[in-house]
Copies of this chain bind each other. A is one copy, B any other.
Amino acid sequence: MTDDVFAGASESTGRSAVKRRAILAEATALFLRHGFRGTSMDEVASAAGVSKQTIYKQFSDKHSLFREIVEGVARNADTIVRRITDAFGDEPASTRESLQARLTDVARGYLDGVLQPNVLSLRRLIIAEVEQFPDLAESYFRQAPERGIEIITERLAPYRDAGLLRADDLRLAATHFAYLALAPALDRAMFMPSTLPTAAERAQLAAAAARTFLAAYGA
């Protein structure tokens, strides 16, 4: 779990905190690999090198452990939001050509952020357990895909104000942009994780999304 999307927020030390981090790290790996139902507390204890008693001191049951992991990881969707924000930059682009280049970068950052094997595994894990943990799945949707669309909506507003975009419903426009950028590769990746698009393919997908979006919404 070296991917920064999965870095824990906790910095606390001490033997109990060290054990807690080991449990969370091993349980994350096991849940992502074998799913919620395919992972037992015995396996988590053995992988983390602690007793089951130690786990139950920190987490009341497997459900609580699962919740804590998914919520922690979902909070780290910030990484993807930061990629989008960075790609939009501080100074707005002032011409249609520079806006298209900017949106190509945004689409590319979004694609690169989401098409990480661990992010895809997390999506699969949450989707698999949606019946048992509907509130977790909803919270993930709000903090990850929906948050991405909100950021894009905010960042597109100055371009509408400057007359470079035409959109009565800017959130709808942002939603269209987000899924033009993401959906073709993401839908495929959910079913075919071993054939993720290459860097060259991502560049093409991103450029096509920006081009099509501006053809529809450019003023």
Contacts and interface: CB of A to CB of B under 8 A. Distances in A.
Contacts of A176: 180, 184, 208, 212
**The 5 residue pairs across chains A and B that have the minimum distance between CB atoms:** A128-B128, A183-B183, A179-B183, A141-B191, A215-B216
Interface of A is mostly: helix
A52 interface: no
**Most chain B CB atoms below 10 A, which of A37, A183, A191, A192:** A191
Copies in the complex: 2
Contacts of A172: 208
Nearest to A128: B128
A116 interface: no
Nearest to A145: B187
Contact of A183 (B128, B187, B212): B187
A190 interface: yes
